[in-house]
């Protein structure tokens, strides 16, 4: 129970409410409410006793430094944050501390981001082919010629690159259920 809920239990009990009424109001089990009240009666306090779990790897100060680093450097990964902070903690600890502060370390980019020049060249290439209309083929040899006319000016490096990465693209598409894959 949080300190607030413990305080509510004590206040409602001192106000004359029964354990079942308090449990119903707070959405807790009757036994939980009863145990909280028993602790208050026995120890004179309703606050939570320190647990016997593993001690924390980082101090509050180090936790704040990790969060400050993540806010200041939005593109830093958890490994980079760990290296800069200098605390002898694992990468998982850094990630957990960031999640406790509703933050995330940014994952490094897997693919090369496209520049405006890439986008311009792609747009020009698409525009050049958008206005070209092929007449329907009447025979197989004419169709073959039309396919070759469209195929030959296409950069073969693009086709080889697409063919070489197709397995990874399909795998990413299947894993993301057809959603965004980063390709």
User: If pLDDT is split at 50, 70 and 90, which confidence band does 83 have?
Assistant: confident
Q: Calculate mean pLDDT across residues 59-83.
A: 79
Tell me: pLDDT of 16 over 80.
yes
Same domain, 126 and 161: yes
Q: Is 22 within 8 Å of 9 (Cβ atoms)?
A: yes
50 falls within a domain: no
* Per-residue pLDDT, 51: 63
Angle of helix 60-72 relative to helix 78-85, nearest 10 degrees, comes to 130
pLDDT digits (tens, 9 = 90+) for 90-117: 777 887 777 777 777 666 556 677 788 8
Residues 120 and 157 grouped into a single domain: yes
- Residue 181 within any structural domain of the chain: no
Instruction: Determine if the pTM surpasses 0.75.
Output: no
Give the CA distances from residue 119 to residues 113, 115, 162, in Å, rounded to whole numbers and listed in that order: 11, 7, 17
Residue 19 is part of which domain span?
A: 3-43
One domain for residues 67 and 35: no
**13 inside domain:** yes
Q: How many domains does the chain have?
A: 3
Given this model, what pLDDT does residue 119 score? 84
Confidence at residue 109, expressed as pLDDT on a 0 to 100 scale? 58
Same domain, 120 and 153: yes
Closest residue by Cα to residue 97 from 76, 75, 82: 82
- Does residue 128 share a domain with residue 96? no
Question: Are 90 and 128 members of one domain?
Answer: no
């Amino acid at each position: 129970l949080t300190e607030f809920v413990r305080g509510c239990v004590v206040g409602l009990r001192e106000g004359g409410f029964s354990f079942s009424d308090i449990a119903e109001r707070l959405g807790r089990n009757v036994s939980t409410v009863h145990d909280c009240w028993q602790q208050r009666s026995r120890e004179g306090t309703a606050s939570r006793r320190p647990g016997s779990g593993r001690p924390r790897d980082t101090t509050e100060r180090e936790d704040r430094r990790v969060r400050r680093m993540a806010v200041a450097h939005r593109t830093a990964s958890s490994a980079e944050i760990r290296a800069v902070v200098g605390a002898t903690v694992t990468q998982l600890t850094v990630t957990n501390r960031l999640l406790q502060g509703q933050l995330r370390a940014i994952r490094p980019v897997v693919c090369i981001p496209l520049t405006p020049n890439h986008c311009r060249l792609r747009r020009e290439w698409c525009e050049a082919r958008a206005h070209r209309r092929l007449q329907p083929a009447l025979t197989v040899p004419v169709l073959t010629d039309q396919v070759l006319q469209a195929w030959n000016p296409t950069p073969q490096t693009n086709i080889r690159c697409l063919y070489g990465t197709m397995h990874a693209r399909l795998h990413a598409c299947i894993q993301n259920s057809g959603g965004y894959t980063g390709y």
